[in-house]
Amino acid sequence: MTERPTALVTGASRGVGEAVARALAPTHHVLLGGRDTEALGKLAGELPDARPWPVELTEVGPADVAGVERLDLLVHSAGLALLGHIAELSADTWRRTMELNVVAVAELTRLLLPALRAARGHVICVNSGAGQRANPNWGAYAASKFALRAFADALRLEEPELRVTTVYPGRVDTDMQRSVRDQEGGAYEPDRYLRAGTVARAVLAAVNAGPDAHLTEITLRPSEGPVN
């Protein structure tokens, strides 16, 4: 029997990250990245070959990735959405948003590049419709997602032996979306949003495209509902 490929999924304690981890579980050894150790432990116990990888992504360092010598798949799913008019957004809001949505992604990828190169691996960035267009009140979040898009594009060119995919989902039925709707002052309408499992299947489509294919971008929108 061949050894299972290894995947590391950030934001795995809930939402899209959890759905991606569950989708990969039948075929991969999954490292479950996140801060909620209790939720990660519970999820690991439900999957056939997974273990928690508790981490504060904004403080990730070499010690956190020690022992990861080969990595077939890295899925960046953790994120932060803080909305507001640019005239009212504090510098701290911009820094917090960029730190998690961009800087942490870049640093974790940098630290894991030797392991990814060893496996000729795959990096997937779960972005957002906000990474393709900016709307009022979404300035900081959209800026971070445009930057994440640029990061993925540059990584793809700099590391030609790796596959790099950006997934752009619209609104997804998750706890993050509940927070977004609270900030917008609107009703939560899950039937108008994508399911987390739908986004996970898009991730699987990129992973399973075959060695001769490189899906660089995937855009998903709810069949009914807002674009962003």
Which sequence positions are flagged as catalytic?
141
What strand order describes the sheet that includes 122-126? 50-54, 29-34, 6-9, 73-76, 122-126, 163-169, 217-220
Inter-residue long-range contacts of 143-150, CB under 8 Å, 24+ positions, other chains counted: 143/94, 143/97, 143/98, 144/97, 144/98, 144/101, 144/102, 145/101, 147/98, 147/101, 147/102, 148/76, 148/101, 148/102, 148/105, 149/125
* Cα 32 to Cα 13: distance, rounded to the nearest angstrom: 7
The tally of CA atoms less than 13 A away on the side-chain side of residue 159 is 24
Buried b / exposed e across 49-59, counting CB within 10 Å, b at 16+? ebebbebebee
